[in-house]
Amino acid sequence: MKQNKNLKNIIVTALLLTFSYFAGQGIAHIQNVYAFGAILPAGSSASANWGLSFQEEGKAPLGNASASYLKDFDAYFVEETEEKKIYLTFDCGFENGNTPAILDALKKHNAPATFFIVGNYMETSPDLVKRMVSEGHTVGNHTYHHPDMSKIGEMEAFRKELADLETLYEEAIGQPMTKYYRPPQGVYSESNLKMAQELGYQTFFWSLAYVDWYQDQQPSHEEAFAKLIPRIHPGAVVLLHNTSQTNGEILDELLTKWEELGYSFHPLSELAGEALPELPLTPGKTPESSS
């Protein structure tokens, strides 16, 4: 009897320790996700900041909304794949001299990208936008004024932020803007996702980014590589800012390093399940300077 009692105590203790371990892991995981942004409950009218939790090097992070949840709204942040594919995207708030170097590096590597622009960029840098298009890249909608779109509850006001940029783009480029939308600052709500979907837009977040947007606190090349190399993963949607001097300086080397790891570059249309456009580029061809 005494032996049975001891065995029972050992089993109970082991079960309690196991439960405590997994409970602790769950709490740690939740804290990790919430450190990057609030999780948006399904059906909620609340807003959230897009956030990521990296669990393992070389693996896709967890977002504060799942890929399956987002897909219901024609929205994406990563491709769930084992293929070493990268989707390059750039947010363009204004031009300060780095975009030509970025375009040169993309052309050298025959790498398609999507540039999410705002109204100010379209107004001040139409020649660069024309170059993006002529070199086979996609230009997406980052709204006209770059507001917190989650605070816009009326469809007409939401539509205007996108439509005003569409009009400006079509007047300058001579063709309709691709209906790809990126919420400014990554702030979104379920109602925003629905409104974008109703307007025919697909929404794109990201699965890899780093702090590159502070003009007076630009990361060193080493700091950039330390973030962007270990965290790259199959199906990554990479967000970089064109305003970053560091990005302009490292992009050629960064793309080379990713290629050496076995990655290739793909257009967002592939992630969205659309027909793939052909890039009018030749690998290794010397980039032409921007006009």
Q: 155-173 and 190-198 helices cross at what angle (nearest 10)?
A: 50
- Contact between 250 and 221 under an 8 Å Cβ cutoff? The reply is yes
CA distances from 55 to 29, 33, 207 (A): 9, 10, 12
What whole-number distance in Å separates Cα of residue 120 and Cα of residue 191? 26
Nearest to 126 by CA among 76, 159, 90, 169: 169
Q: 221-228 and 245-260 helices cross at what angle (nearest 10)?
A: 50
CA distances from 268 to 24, 58, 129, 139, 151 (A): 38, 21, 17, 11, 27
Which region holds residue 37: left if phi is over 0, alpha if psi is between -120 and 50, else beta? left
- Contact between 232 and 258 under an 8 Å Cβ cutoff? The reply is yes
- Contact between 89 and 240 under an 8 Å Cβ cutoff? The reply is yes
∠ at Cα 37 (34, 43), nearest 5°? Answer: 95
For the annotated catalytic residues, the residue numbers are 91, 241
Nearest to 44 by CA among 142, 188, 217: 188
Q: Please list, in sequence order, all residues whose beta carbon lies within 8 angstroms of the beta carbon of residue 241, skipping any fewer than 6 positions away.
A: 90, 91, 92, 93, 212, 213, 247
Residues in the chain: 291
